[in-house]
Amino acid sequence: MKNYSCTITGSQPTRTRHSKFFLRAGLLIPALLLLAGGAARAQLLLVDVDFKHAGASIPAQTGAAVIGSAGDSWNAVNVDNSGTSGSASNLLSVAGNTTSIGTSFTYTSGGFNDSNGTTMDAATTPLMEDYFYSYVNQGTGAAPTLTFTGLSAYTGDPYEIVLYASGDSAGQGGTYTLTENAVTGLTLSTTATNRMISGGVGDAYQVFTGTILGGDITLTGAYANSSQFAPINGFQLEVVPEPSTWVMVLSGLGALAFVHLRRRSLMQA
């Protein structure tokens, strides 16, 4: 009986220690994964720009458009009617933080605003009510360009650009070609039957996606017919952290947690 009793007494604490080890691992590793997930979400960057007709009293857009959330801040960038180009540097993120991202743009006819004309969604009226465009060479000459600068810090990260491009009359859209590091990418058009973003992609806005290569990204407008202005109302640029980076982070945290808990288990043995 003594030998039997000693066998049971000696094995029970070992089983208990193992149970505690796996319990701690089960609690700590998910916690670390949640923290890492929170860090990943914090790295998301969204920059919104609303081009405004200089001298007009239209307020800047706020809150969500195609992407974003209620309360998001937008950069209001004025377009000079007497000029042919403009720029803005160190744009703010939707959270109000200064970024390295900037924008430059060219046009031939300045800014325009019109509260009449085609229908707009109430929530995005400030964004869609005004725009810059090229009317002098409409249908034949150079349409506007829009360039994104200061992107080198985000090299290798995927991006999404939502381009808002609709004039105040039906059919005043355009065709836009993306170029990055001298490489031509997507060419997409807006039909601009109205200025309602609720109409879906391809009508009042288009979506360009890719991976930041380190240089500037440029959208160059063109005309599919003589009715088009190739207008640009504004844009949203979202930069997303590379998923493989966070897989490595999570794997590393999990391994560290395992080693730490295993060491404690051996010390208590």
Q: What is the DSSP string of 118-158?
A: S-B-GGGHHHHSEEE---TTTTTSPPPEEEEE--GGGTT-E
| pLDDT higher than threshold 90 for residue 122 | yes
Encoded amino acid at 251, one letter: S
Residue 100 is predicted with a pLDDT of: 97
Compare 86 and 35 and report the one with higher pLDDT. 86
pLDDT tens-place string over residues 217-251? 999 998 877 778 889 999 999 998 766 554 555 56
| pLDDT higher than threshold 60 for residue 22 | no
* pLDDT confidence tier of residue 140, bands split at 50, 70 and 90: low
Q: Give the residue-averaged pLDDT of 12-17.
A: 47
CATH class, domain 45-240, is mainly beta
What angle, 0 to 180 degrees and rounded to 10, lies between the N-to-C axes of helices 2-42 and 243-268?
150
Q: Are strands 45-53 and 75-79 parallel, antiparallel or unpaired?
A: parallel
Compare 251 and 72 and report the one with higher pLDDT. 72
Residue linked to tokens 């005004």: 130
Any idea where the domains of the chain sit in the sequence? Answer: 22-43+242-269, 45-240
Percent of the chain with pLDDT over 90: 52
Residue 115 is predicted with a pLDDT of: 77
> What's the CA gap between 10 and 27, in Å, rounded?
27
**Average pLDDT over the chain, rounded to an integer:** 81
> What's the CA gap between 216 and 175, in Å, rounded?
20
Residue 241 is predicted with a pLDDT of: 75
Which residues touch 37 (CB under 8 Å, ≥6 apart)? 246
Predicted TM-score (pTM) of the model is 0.76
Compare 133 and 28 and report the one with higher pLDDT. 133
CB 239 within 8 A of CB 159: yes
Q: Give the residue-averaged pLDDT of 117-142.
A: 82
